Amino acid sequence: MTLPLHDPAWLERMYNNRALVPDHMAYFQRWVQDSAQVRSEQPCVLDVAYGDGVGETLDIFPSRRDTPQGGVPVLVFIHGGYWRSLDKADHSFIAPPFTQAGFCVVVVNYALCPGTPDAPVTIPHIVRQMEKALGWVWRHIAEHGGDPRRITVAGHSAGGQLAAMLLTSVWPLLGPGLPDGLVRNALSMSGVHDLEPIMYTPMYQSVLQLTEQQVLQCSPARLLEPPGGTLYCVVGADESPEFLRQNQLMQDAWGSHFVPRSEALPGLHHFSIVDALATPGHDLHHMALNLLRM
């Protein structure tokens, strides 16, 4: 498929999800309110440092059920926002349906692009932060009842790109003792799997300052499939044609063995898909449970 990569107006129509969902602010406001209520009512450990850099904190929501010997599977959630906005505190509402089902949930933060002149932030920088966060989870989650051998990552939008990237990480090279296959499975929701169109979308490129090398390094659809693990890719059927295309890229690139599910979910758009993840009984929630139980 030949894309009109040099048509800024077309690209912004395809990738500006806030314009495509006029009531997007209602979603953000509800997420903030529901998340604050979750943090006030449920056991949690907040703002744990996984590093000493900007944005390098995470929140832990332990299982609400009795923890078996060896711990429970762990869901690590990475928020979206085009690598330049939103926060882990907006997404605590993801946790209760999973903690009540007997899983441990970790919601991670990262530095936002573009950073500052003294400390610039790029997408490769954020990928390294997520690797650092997952290394911390592997080393410490047993202290919170989680099983470090059963880590699943779920990410939305920019977080979907990051979740898929973490399947490709060479963990033994990233820290002492880190095992191959540290991330067992991943769920990419409305993920941006090829960054090239973003490089030509002015409203995002002005902040992200992507280079051709970064596009090659940080586009999971341009990387070789990992030696192991499972990736599910989902998108709202009501999203733009570009997000539908981006969703299918991973199965095309890695094959149906590594990406057995690549689906457009009826009735969902770029923001309601996050609600679906946290809705027991929804197909997307079931998909996340399947990955956690593998």
8-293 topology per CATH: Rossmann fold (3.40.50)
Structural domain spans, the chain: 8-293
What's the pTM?
Answer: 0.97
Q: Specify the pLDDT at position 5.
A: 66
Per-residue pLDDT of the chain in tens (294 residues, 90 and over written 9): 456 667 899 999 999 999 999 999 999 999 999 999 999 999 999 999 999 999 999 999 999 998 888 899 999 999 999 999 999 999 999 999 999 999 999 999 999 999 999 999 999 999 999 999 999 999 999 999 999 999 999 999 999 999 999 999 999 999 999 999 999 999 999 999 999 999 999 999 999 999 999 999 999 999 999 989 999 999 999 999 999 999 999 999 999 999 999 999 999 999 999 999 999 999 999 999 999 999
Which residues does residue 57 pair with via DSSP β-bridges, in sequence order? 49
Q: Specify the pLDDT at position 2.
A: 54
